Amino acid sequence: MRTLISTAFISLDGVVEAPGGEPGYRNSGWTFKDVEFLPEAFEIKGREQKEAAAMLMGRTSYEAFSPVWPDMEDFADYKAMPKYVVSTTLAEGDLVSNWGETTILRSLDEVAALKETEGGPIIVHGSASLNQALSDAGLIDRYHLLVFPLLLGAGKRLFSATDKDTQKLKLVEHEAYANGLQKQVFDVVR
């Protein structure tokens, strides 16, 4: 079974919305506006590209990333990697042609089936709603979190407010940085 990894920039109060400056959110760009940049705090982002074998995202994140990431040197390893977009509304004609193989999945059952295939880890970028659904369905195996020392208040959250049984996590890697960022890597305990 393939490992499904959720990776996120997250505020201390759980917000993941618009970390890179996406329009429409009052605190857009919060990852670089209020916290000093320290390259060592972002080492995990490069490691993710080297270790992942596929990328999974929701429609909204795909529509935000696909016009930009294919031509960005920072994301070069993702270009040739197979990509999967979970959407009930996206059509084949909506996919960009310069970002490698992309497959549309129509349900969480299709994500579960993808996890059963041969291959390495699948990384989930952005995709707040998808992350919530994947977590609630018990499909996420690991979390890579860069926790920013900010309280953003309103905004899309990584975790749902669904009333559900406790889900235990095991801390497998962590580090705190001089700028207040914390790297927290958790495995989901089954």
User: How far is it, in rounded angstroms, from Cα 167 to Cα 185?
Assistant: 15
Residue 146's identity, in one-letter code, is L
Q: What is the CATH number of the domain that holds 112?
A: 3.40.430.10
59-76: buried (b, 16+ CB within 10 Å) or exposed (e) per residue? bbbbebbbeebbeeeebe
Percentage above 90 pLDDT, the chain: 95
CB 42 within 8 A of CB 7: no
What's the rounded Cα separation, in Å, for the pair 94 and 82? 17
- CA Rg, the chain, in Å? 16
* Single-letter amino acid, residue 168: K
Look at residue 26 and give its three-state secondary structure.
coil
Instruction: Count the domains in the chain.
Output: 1
Domain that includes residue 177, residue range:
4-188
Is the pLDDT at 23 greater than 90, yes or no? no
Tokens 């429609």 identify what position?
A: 59
Map residue 119 onto helix, strand or coil: coil
In the chain, the largest separation of any two C-alpha atoms, in whole Å, equals: 46
Please tell me the pTM assigned to this model: 0.96
Q: For residue 22, name the pLDDT band (cuts at 50, 70, 90).
A: confident
How does the average pLDDT of the chain come out, rounded?
A: 96
Q: Is the pLDDT of residue 93 over 90?
A: yes
Bridge partners (DSSP) of residue 122 are 4, 54
What's residue 21's pLDDT? Answer: 87
62-74 confidence digits (pLDDT tens): 999 999 999 999 8
Task: Provide the pLDDT confidence category of residue 90 given band limits of 50, 70 and 90.
Answer: very high
Cα separation, 48 vs 43, in Å, equals: 9
